[in-house]
Amino acid sequence: MTNRILIHVQHLLGVGHLRRAAALSRAFARSGYEVVVLSGGRLVAGTDVGGGRLVQLAPAHAADVSFSAVLDDDGKPIDEAFERRRREVVVAETLRFAPDVVVTEHYPFGRRRFRGEITALFDAAPRGALVLSSVRDVLVRSAGHGEKAARIVDLIRKRYDGVLVHGDPGIIALTDSFPAADGIADRLHYTGYVVEEAPGEVFPADTQGAHTGCKGPGEVVVSVGGGAVGLGLLGAALEARRGGLLDDRRWRLLVGRNLGGAAFAQLRASAPDGVVVEWARPDFRALLSRASLSISQAGYNTLMDILIAGVPAVVVPFEAGAESEQRERAELFARRGLLAVLPESELDGRRLAVAALEAIVRLDRVCLSERVAAIRLEGADESVRIVTRLLGRKRRGEAMGDG
């Protein structure tokens, strides 16, 4: 019998949630599962769910970095009619697919604006389906206390069989950023970090001399993921380069498509000689593996790419609004000698240059490789093993809450 798993994911600002869900989809498909991914964020071209099927719901995204409102694809606040149409699609797809396993990415720890459609998904799923939440290693700390946290714990205990925590408890436990998780400790299953498989190397002609052969020093790669933030970091990087930082090397600025065409054109127009400005690329990790330095934000997926590439790195965590997740994870890795952190509040060209030079001197590739080897990075495949084990227990009528 082929097992069927349905993954619900909603990205609002960046694309990290979708990338992680897609990596899980590929792992489950490789293991013989039938997979459907319900994606509620903006369409991301090239999203690879492996042998799974991607169902694009009517897209919703955050109005700004403070998540002050959720907008539809026309830039209008979503309303009851929008929610009803999406809910109808979710229910229809769930009834058609009849999943054995339902995974809600980030919910109920976040995305509560979409609880109506997720509740409808639960109601449409077959009786006895295994229901799991999927969360990254660190949550925004403001959600871990008080009545909101109590409601999350209550919902987990009532509607969920477990929580897949995509992190390494030897580095940080979920309770460190979400203290209320003590109330669901018996439902937590640590998978290790989810690392995406690197695609084949597909460098365009202008990079061949810089990468293959590697006679000269490697590039400086500056990246901000695929989301709608990071323009300040890209600007500071250009300022540092104009000030003479590593100006004997080619610099490559990778721009998230959600930053928009105007920002992209502005960066290209202001880039000095020796600086290439491109849209974010699928061969990002291959670029990193040949770089002499990475400068980036500190999203979950980007940090995993940095660790696997073993490149000296400076990260500038996104900290707008109440965001604390990127800074907390980055500092944990920095304390292990894996990267350097420059707080967003201190970001300018001069400070970035100082941090970059320190990182190159202090972060040796051989030492980085040894330190990375101690971290659990098998999160996608381990998720498959955990889900398969829990599904077997569920079918046998065994208790779910014993880890």
Contact in structure between 187 and 393 (CB atoms under 8 Å) = no
pTM (2 d.p.): 0.89
C-alpha distances (whole Å) from 385 to each of 31, 160, 257, 321, 350 are 9, 18, 34, 37, 47
C-alpha distances (whole Å) from 118 to each of 10, 58, 63, 114, 299 are 11, 15, 22, 6, 25
* CA neighbor of 196 nearest in space, from 316, 77, 76, 288: 288
Mean pLDDT on 143-154: 84
Q: Who has greater pLDDT, 321 or 343?
A: 343
Mean pLDDT on 25-35: 98
Q: Who has greater pLDDT, 21 or 67?
A: 21
Asked whether the CA dihedral 346, 352, 354, 356 is positive or negative, the reply is: positive
Q: Who has greater pLDDT, 225 or 176?
A: 176
Q: What is the pLDDT of residue 129?
A: 97
Strand pairing of 251-255 and 275-279?
Answer: parallel
φ/ψ of 376, rounded to 5, equals -75, 115
Is the pLDDT confidence value at 132 over 50? yes
Mean pLDDT on 226-248: 90
Is the pLDDT confidence value at 15 over 80? yes
Q: What is the pLDDT of residue 44?
A: 87
DSSP 132-162: EEEEES---GGGSSHHHHHHHHHHHHHH-SE
Q: What is the pLDDT of residue 321?
A: 64
Contact in structure between 100 and 3 (CB atoms under 8 Å) = yes
Mean pLDDT on 247-262: 90
* Structural element, H or E, at residue 270: helix 261-270
The percentage of residues in the chain with a pLDDT greater than 70, rounded to a whole number, is: 92
* Structural element, H or E, at residue 365: helix 365-372
Q: Which range, of 57-66, 188-197, 284-293, averages the lowest pLDDT?
A: 57-66
Mean pLDDT on 193-199: 82
C-alpha distances (whole Å) from 23 to each of 79, 105, 120, 353, 376 are 31, 12, 25, 34, 16
Residues 77-95: pLDDT tens digits? 999 999 999 999 999 999 9
What is the four-CA torsion angle of 187, 192, 194, 197, rounded to 10 degrees?
-140
What is the rounded distance in angstroms from the CA atom of residue 153 to the CA atom of residue 148?
9
Q: What is the pLDDT of residue 367?
A: 78
* CA neighbor of 252 nearest in space, from 232, 279, 212, 217: 279
- Ramachandran class of 306: left when φ > 0, alpha when ψ lies in -120 to 50, beta otherwise: alpha
User: Exposed (0-12), middle (13-18) or buried (19+): which is 82, by Cβ within 10 Å?
Assistant: middle
Mean pLDDT on 223-231: 80
pLDDT band at 215 (very low <50, low <70, confident <90, very high): very low
Give Cβ neighbours of residue 347 (< 8 Å, ≥ 6 apart): 232, 233, 236, 316
